[in-house]
Structure 1
Amino acid sequence: MVDIATRVWNHKWKIDPIVRSLIDTDFYKLLMCQSIFRNRPETRVTFNLINRTDSIRLADLIDEGELREQLDHIRSLSLNRGESTWLRGNLFYGKRQMFRFDFMEWFENLRLPDYHLEKRDGQFRLEFEGAWPEVMLWEIPALAVLMELRSRAVLKDLGKFELQVLYARAMTRTWEKIERLRKIDGLKLADFGTRRRHSFLWQDWCVQAMTEGLGNAFVGTSNCLIAKNRDLEAIGTNAHELPMVYSALASSDEELSQAPYRVLADWQEEHEGNLRIILPDTYGTEQFLKNAPDWLAGWTGIRIDSGDPVRGAETAIRWWKDRGEDPKQKLIIFSDGLDVEKIEDLHARFSDRVRVSFGWGTMLTNDFRGLVPDDGLAPFSLVCKAATANGRPTVKLSDNPRKAMGPDKEIERYKRVFGVGDQDEMEVFV
């Protein structure tokens, strides 16, 4: 077992690069990257960093030189032989050779493109621009670097014993959550905590604790490097990025209205079974399902990632029934703002009506609330999203208007095209 407190104390000796591999990323990034490599390789995109919690002034906390050092290190990374062998030969979702030969040949020769970084009003403006398959792979490592540099900045003046006590308390808190969760009969839960983790070492510790504490109820991790190192299932399907970029490329309102379904048609050509999971909330879940083609009802399940999760699940169940499908054979994955209480409640509400699973993120891998003065390690909402595609702005509406992204004029256009009416605002926790 790694002595995390000692490693944190020794960070000043630079023995721990924050991102140590190109597969220190979410599995769905690689699945989407292959799909984009196949279908839209020439698309040019920009990705931008967005700090939704602007009260946390990252540029005042984090040294710009140290941030550049970590980002430059990521640009030096490439797949090693063991990582390539794992991707080429491992069993993913019951399928061998998930990643095609041409994609792997490209990935093995990849170095991430350059970045643009500047300070503005106490925040970092961080932007990536280039070919979509390359630029998209910056999202997760960029977030992981900023989250961990923030953690290091807060902890830098703590002594050895203070760090030991801090991590002992955090470990106790995590284990107490695990003890509650293992009382849930039929629980299925995965780690989705890479993008907003406290640190790589902490995420790795949390995954090991879940493996021991939950047994078969813990179904895997979204982090490819940890999945490889710990011989776990790599978990993930697709994200909002795909419909956001496809929609930005649409040349008319009619094409725009069909873009989210075109994404899933392309996805269906490559994947089956538990990889056929719908993420319906990019432009409003209810309207997405109302206008969805019949073939989508045959997919395995739905992931609920914004808005009221109870309402989202009830909407999905009604939709399946209306399309002649048995909800008890379908899977709902909850993945928005989860902690133990919400997992307990949602499992109790829906486990006898559908198959239920959970993707547990920030409150698994970054719950240090109240453990340092002024709550300086409290989790916050940091994202890195596609902002343009071939020069056109992207838009995300979500089921929570506080998560909406894009120019105001385009947001109004998308609401009109997709028939999105009034939405209930909910606090964006993470």
Structure 2
Amino acid sequence: MALVTLGINHRTAPVDLRERIAFTPERMEEAFAELRVASGASEAAILSTCNRTELYLAGDDDCAPMVLRWLAGFHNLDAAELEEAVYVHRDADAVRHVMRVAAGLDSMVLGEPQIFGQLKDAYALARKHGASGSFLSRMFEQTFSVAKRVRTQTAIGENPVSVAYAAVSMAHHIFSDLSRNRALLIGAGKTIELVAQHLSEAGVKDFVVANRTLERAQSLAEAHGGKGIVLSEIPGYLADVDIIISSTASPLPILGKGAVERALKKRKHRPYFMVDIAVPRDIEPEVASLADVYLYTVDDLRHVIEENIRSREGAAREAENLVTDGVQAFLNQLRALDAVSTLKQFRQRAETLRDAETEKALRALRNGSDPETVLRSLARGLTNKLLHEPSVQVRKATTEGRTEVTEWLRELHQLDALEADAATTPEKL
């Protein structure tokens, strides 16, 4: 079974390309339906976050070229443009990559924990759509086990340096005392939950949470003493908030330049701090051109994040060792499964030969043949049938210079031990 991981991330592609290749929840069913047909893979999973889009596929052949063409076509992109940003990992390297992703070792924020949950969600979604079989299931289960060990056995996750934390940290550059500022959070997913938590810890007491569903917005807002609204109500609150942080799965911008301009007129030059964590972007890029607006995207958070990475680099080295052990354990598991399958086939062949020789012997007995003669013939015939093909293959391998086959035969049948026993056994007088 061949394993292929194909994708782009924050290191290989700018945000404008990442947002064009992101999979929206509404198109996931369509994507799964097309992907396996187009690639020929028997199993597939899709991970799509603000920083990466990755496809995990298992099949009999290397399907990377077909997957690349499908991915470009699905998102109406030029395959040549996409090819420049895409990375491909195969087999053991693919396993190592997904384990590093789950452990936060490949994230913009080294060791950030959100990707672990996002990868679990991607696996659950693949299972929901019937796209994940036994191979990917084993890989993901081993991956999650390794990621948990990284979290519990290293200090890689001790310092809060997630994208959400970096966004809140940047707010201090604009506002010295966050307790005086009101925040509008757009979205109600895990990232916005973390943003709300970090803002609350930084002193922000006044929250408005806007979401597509009011119930979810109210639930998150009330946890921090705030107010929940639906997306359509945002314009009515814009003039009264100072901090806007957005992270939704919307395929189109939620906050446009016109709405912000109208709000600015009411604010009398009070600055806005905005962070658009979403891919595709929730806030129109043109908003950044407005006076008194400080708009940042996930790519703009890099310098804040890099300052915090150093504290995790030692733990990352320990984590890399755990990943290496995890990859080896998974490969050993696959080899063991392959051995079981091979041994099963070997036994079935031996039993087929046995049954054929046994039936031949029974026919001879029914026809009145001498039982001793029949028994000796059965033993001789079964021995010849079992040893014929292996003998042919060993002679062929030796002729071709593959002498290791002879060594394996001696090891399999303990021939050296038998010779040693024979040499130490005294002859009978």
Common topology (TM > 0.5) = no
TM-score w.r.t. the length of structure 1 is 0.28
Instruction: Tell which structure's C-alpha radius of gyration is larger.
Output: 2
TM-score w.r.t. the length of structure 2 is 0.28
The structure where helix makes up a greater share of residues is: 2
